[in-house]
Amino acid sequence: MSIIRNEDGIVELGADRLPGSVWGSNLRVILPTSRWVALSRRTAQRAGRVCEVCGQPSYYGQGIRNPDCHEIWEFDAMMPRPVQRLRAVIALCGACHETQHSGLAELNDRWESVIATLCRVNGWDRADAEVDIERSRARYRELSTTEWDLDLGRLEGWVELDGYPDLVIPSEDRAALGNTFDKTKRKLSLIVGADIPLAIWTW
């Protein structure tokens, strides 16, 4: 996990990139669009429409937009089965958000922007940021060799997923949740209640 609040309450931002084995498997495709939009809006509202890491608005062209809704995932490789667990969602400005998808940012020629954001938020110099990005690359390589079960237990009381009462979906079944990367739609049926559990914003 690369966004942490230390014991002094200060948020530290590390570069991150999701393992290739889970690309495209996320809340945006799993939830009905209206529910994903509602979750994103509530997340932005609760954060006062600024980034929860750097406190800045999300600049967009000449204007400002709502910060993005970003999932904080934990990867737990312990047996019996490795699991990717939803910890929380967080409001992030575009600049902080791209540090969490730093591999994609590199592909999109946004490398310098990632370096600048890590330096701005953490008070690092360039060498610190480059070391941290290299750490995220190594972690990516390690995590990408594993197929991860998905634990959405954080959504309990809000989401019911047919056949998975504990909201843990084995890796071999994840394709049925849909995927934004290969553009497949969810095949499993899902019920979403009215009230988003507060736990989803606790991190």
Rounded to a whole number of angstroms, the minimum distance from the CB of residue 91 to Zn ion is: 9
- Residue recorded with tokens 């190594």: 138
Nearest-approach distance from CB 124 to Zn ion, in angstroms: 15
Q: Which is nearer to Zn ion, 63 or 80 (CB)?
A: 63
Residue 177 neighbours by CB distance under 10 Å: 23
Q: Kindly tell me which of 29 and 133 has the beta carbon lying closer to Zn ion.
A: 133
Of the pair 94, 197, the CB lying nearest Zn ion is at 94
In the complex, the smallest distance separating the C-beta of residue 38 from Zn ion, rounded to whole angstroms, is 22
For the chain, count helices (H), then strands (E).
6, 10
For 17, the token pair is 């990139």
Give the residue with the Cβ less far from Zn ion, 118 or 161.
Answer: 118
By C-alpha distance, which of 179, 20, 18, 201 is closest to 100? 18
Contacting positions for Zn ion (CB under 5 A): 51, 53-54, 93, 96
* Least distance in angstroms from the C-beta of 68 to Zn ion: 10
Instruction: Please state, in angstroms and rounded to a whole number, the distance separating the CA atoms of residues 87 and 190.
Output: 20
Closest approach, Cβ 70 to Zn ion, in A, equals: 10
In angstroms, the Cα distances linking 193 to 156, 187, 202 are 10, 19, 19
Of 120 and 139, which has the nearer Cβ to Zn ion?
Answer: 120
Instruction: Say how far apart CA 57 and CA 70 lie, in whole Å.
Output: 15
